[in-house]
């Protein structure tokens, strides 16, 4: 039996991961560790509370002793580490929480794994990271696993630092680790402060849709459940010590994305209101990365993963979830 510690399982992606693993792996014990910051939404995971193979722990990864206790008490054999401060705008206003949780919190987990897993080669520390560690692209090219790290925001700097720590524990302590770097996710449960939820909420409430600068920045979008399936593949079959890039292959500028969401919204809820008039350009984010693009050929060929959800369908599901 694996005893899988999933951190950040009350957040957006973590909730989907926890629910998937609890339901698909009844033979394993799933321990969800989350300190429930503003970004957590416990009601998204109430439906798994009654499962025998599930346990929730309200613990802060910044507390090294508490983290070590969890490893000892539950004899943790595997970690899927998602807990993080995740919003770039917040990292610009207050970088400290990002350094504490994303860097120190990750090191606390690594230390607990190192100290409790001596000689255990069948264990795994899986660190979930972002494509933003690679920096910003011009109109051409894509991030590969070999692309040099060049983080530009305090958020991506903290994630890059945590990635380096994870790799260093593989090199220095032989800790069995794997890392994935994923592009922008969207889907149900995402916090309203993020871009796609902001757009959808603005449409529902018919209030201005804020777009940074001229809306030309380009992101590569992935439906959250496709990320979960990629995580599952890497968890089960990823090679220890390796990094896998995960991307949706759906690149679109922020402005075109808003037009697309409006189109899908009116498709679902036809009416005569001119939603395009809600578009409102605001001062650009400081140091705003221009473009992210992921080359995910490694996970596609090695682990036979590819995104399944069509963007239009994924957006419609997301709209319907927020509408409900």
Ligand X SMILES: NC(=O)c1ccc[n+]([C@@H]2O[C@H](COP(=O)([O-])OP(=O)(O)OC[C@H]3O[C@@H](n4cnc5c(N)ncnc54)[C@H](O)[C@@H]3O)[C@@H](O)[C@H]2O)c1
- The residues annotated as belonging to the active site are 131-132, 155
How many residues bind to ligand X according to rule CB under 6 A?
31
Q: Is 184 in the site for ligand X (CB under 6 A)?
A: yes
Q: Which stretch binds ligand X (CB under 6 A): 60-68, 106-114, 141-149, 309-317?
A: 60-68
- Sheet bearing 184-186, strands edge to edge: 184-186, 218-223, 250-253
Strands 78-81 and 124-130: parallel
Residue from 91, 108, 161, 185 in contact with ligand X (CB under 6 A): 185
Q: Is 95 in the site for ligand X (CB under 6 A)?
A: no
Q: Is 4 in the site for ligand X (CB under 6 A)?
A: no
Given a contact cutoff of 8 angstroms between Cβ atoms, the answer to whether 77 and 123 are in contact is yes
Q: Which stretch binds ligand X (CB under 6 A): 55-63, 171-179, 249-257, 267-275?
A: 55-63
Q: Which stretch binds ligand X (CB under 6 A): 80-88, 168-176, 250-258, 302-310?
A: 80-88
Cα separation, 185 vs 223, in Å, equals: 6
**For the chain, how big is the Rg over CA atoms in Å?**
19
* Per-residue burial over 18-29, b = 16 or more CB atoms within 10 Å of its CB, e = otherwise: bbbbbeebeeeb
What's the token pair of residue 95?
């970088």
CB 277, min distance to ligand X, A: 29
Residue from 3, 8, 175, 250 in contact with ligand X (CB under 6 A): 8
Provide the mask over 96-115, with x wherever binding to ligand X is found by CB under 6 A and - wherever it is not.
-----x---x----------
What's the token pair of residue 314?
């994924």
Q: Is 36 in the site for ligand X (CB under 6 A)?
A: yes
Maximum distance among all Cα pairs of the chain, rounded to whole angstroms:
66
* Cα angle, residue 169 at apex, residues 166 and 116 outer, rounded to 5°: 105
Given a contact cutoff of 8 angstroms between Cβ atoms, the answer to whether 114 and 120 are in contact is no
Cα separation, 143 vs 149, in Å, equals: 10
Nearest to 109 by CA among 56, 60, 67, 78: 67
Q: What is the number of the residue whose Cβ is closest to ligand X?
A: 11
Q: Is 159 in the site for ligand X (CB under 6 A)?
A: yes
- The residue among 82 and 175 lying less far from ligand X, judged by its C-beta, is 82
Binding interface with ligand X (CB under 6 A): 7-8, 10-14, 34-37, 39-40, 60-62, 82-86, 101, 105, 128-130, 159, 182, 184-185, 191
């Amino acid at each position: 039996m694996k005893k899988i510690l999933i951190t950040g399982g009350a957040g957006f992606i973590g909730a989907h991961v926890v629910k998937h693993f609890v339901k698909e792996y009844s033979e394993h014990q799933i321990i969800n560790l989350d300190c429930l910051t503003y970004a957590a939404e416990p009601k998204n995971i109430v439906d798994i509370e009654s499962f025998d193979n599930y346990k929730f722990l309200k613990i802060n990864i910044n507390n090294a002793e508490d983290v070590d206790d969890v490893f000892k008490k539950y004899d943790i054999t595997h970690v899927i580490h998602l807990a993080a401060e995740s919003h770039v705008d917040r990292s610009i206003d207050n970088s400290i929480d990002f350094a504490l949780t994303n860097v120190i919190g990750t090191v606390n987990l690594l230390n607990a794994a190192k100290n409790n897993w001596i000689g255990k080669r069948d264990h795994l520390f899986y660190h979930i990271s972002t494509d933003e560690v690679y920096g910003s692209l011009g109109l051409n090219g894509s991030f590969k696993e070999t692309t040099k790290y060049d983080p530009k925001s305090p958020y991506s700097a903290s994630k890059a630092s945590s990635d380096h720590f994870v790799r260093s524990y593989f090199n220095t302590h032989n800790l069995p680790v794997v890392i994935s770097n994923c592009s922008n996710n969207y889907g149900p449960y995402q916090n309203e402060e993020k871009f796609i939820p902001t757009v959808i909420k603005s449409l529902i409430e018919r209030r201005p849709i804020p777009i940074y600068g001229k809306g030309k920045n380009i992101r590569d979008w992935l439906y959250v459940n496709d990320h979960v399936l990629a995580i599952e593949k890497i968890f089960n079959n990823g090679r220890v010590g390796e990094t896998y890039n995960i991307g949706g292959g759906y690149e679109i500028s922020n402005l075109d994305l808003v037009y697309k969401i409006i189109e899908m919204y009116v498709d679902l809820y036809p009416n005569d209101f001119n939603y395009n008039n809600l578009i409102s350009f605001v001062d650009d984010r400081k140091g705003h990365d221009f473009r992210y693009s992921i080359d995910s050929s490694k996970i596609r060929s090695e682990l036979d993963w590819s995104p399944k959800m069509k963007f239009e369908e994924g957006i419609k599901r997301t709209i319907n979830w927020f509408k409900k």
